C-alpha cells in the first residue's frame, strides 16, 4: 500500500513527543509545557480501548473506543501510529487529530508510551522532537505507581517489568530528561521545547 502523503498545509507541522514508562511523570511535565506555550502548542488526544478511569473525560483525556471500533479505524488507515500496549488494550494517534491541530496553526505535543513515541519519531523524522522522561530509578518509579492508588499489585508488577524494557531504548530518543526533581525537569523541558519551536531547522540547536 502506498503511504498517504502529507498535504501541503501540514508540511511545516512539528511534533513534540514526550514518552516514558508509566509513573515517570511525563504527563505532569507535558501539562507544564502546555501552560507555558498556550498559543503555540496543543495536546494530541490519543485513542484507546482501555476502561475510562475516574474523572477522565472522553475526547479530552482520551478518545475512548471499543476494540471493534479501533480495529475498524486500523483497517481504514486512520491512525498515524497505533499499537497493542497490553494484551487487548490498543492505543493510537488519529491522523485527524494531527490535521486538526496543524490546521489551527499550532504544533502538536504528545504524551505517549515509549513504543508509540518511537513510532511517530520514525515516521515524521526531523519534524519531530522526541524526549524520554527517565525516572531516577526503578524503585522510585514503583513507589510513584503505588502512590497513585489506582493500580492493583498485578498491574504494578506488569508496569514495572515493562518499564525496565522501555528504559533500555531511551537512547533512541532525541533527549533523555531525568525527572528526579519535578521543578527542574519542567524547567528543562520548557527550555528544550522553546528552542525546538523557534528553530527554522526543526532539530537545529537542540
The residue extents of the domains of the chain are 11-50+72-195
For residues 156 and 145, is the Cβ–Cβ distance under 8 A?
yes
Confidence of residue 6 (pLDDT cuts 50, 70, 90): very low
Query: What mean pLDDT do residues 196-205 have?
Result: 68
pLDDT at 2 over 50: no
pLDDT at 144 over 90: no
What is the side-by-side order of every strand in the sheet holding 47-48? 63-64, 47-48, 89-94, 79-86
Query: What mean pLDDT do residues 23-43 have?
Result: 94
The fold adopted by the segment(s) 11-50+72-195 is: Rossmann fold (3.40.50)
Average pLDDT over the chain, rounded to whole?
88
Confidence of residue 205 (pLDDT cuts 50, 70, 90): very low
pLDDT tens digit sequence for 8-20 = 334 469 999 999 9
Query: What mean pLDDT do residues 171-189 have?
Result: 96
CA angle 173, 177, 39 (to 5 degrees): 90
Looking at per-residue pLDDT, the higher value among 130 and 60 belongs to 130
Amino acid at each position: 500500500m502506498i503511504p498517504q502523503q502529507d498535504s501541503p498545509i501540514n508540511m511545516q507541522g512539528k511534533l513534540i513527543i514526550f514518552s516514558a514508562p508509566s509513573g515517570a511523570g511525563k504527563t505532569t511535565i507535558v501539562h507544564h509545557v502546555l501552560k507555558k506555550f498556550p498559543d503555540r502548542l496543543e495536546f494530541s488526544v490519543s485513542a484507546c480501548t482501555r476502561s475510562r478511569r475516574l474523572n477522565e473525560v472522553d475526547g479530552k483525556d482520551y478518545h475512548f473506543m471499543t476494540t471493534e471500533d479501533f480495529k475498524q479505524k486500523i483497517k481504514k488507515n486512520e491512525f498515524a501510529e497505533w499499537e497493542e500496549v497490553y494484551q487487548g488494550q490498543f492505543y493510537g494517534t488519529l491522523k485527524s487529530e494531527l490535521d486538526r491541530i496543524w490546521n489551527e496553526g499550532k504544533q502538536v505535543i504528545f504524551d505517549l508510551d515509549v513504543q508509540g513515541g518511537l513510532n511517530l519519531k520514525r515516521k515524521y523524522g526531523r519534524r519531530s522532537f522526541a524526549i524520554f522522561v527517565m525516572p531516577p530509578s526503578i524503585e522510585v518509579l514503583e513507589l510513584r505507581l503505588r502512590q497513585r492508588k489506582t493500580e492493583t499489585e498485578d498491574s504494578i508488577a506488569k508496569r514495572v517489568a515493562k518499564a525496565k524494557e522501555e528504559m533500555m531504548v531511551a537512547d533512541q530518543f532525541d533527549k533523555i530528561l531525568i525527572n528526579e526533581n519535578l521543578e527542574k525537569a519542567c524547567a528543562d523541558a520548557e527550555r528544550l521545547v522553546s528552542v525546538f519551536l523557534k528553530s527554522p531547522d526543526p532539530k537545529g540547536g537542540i
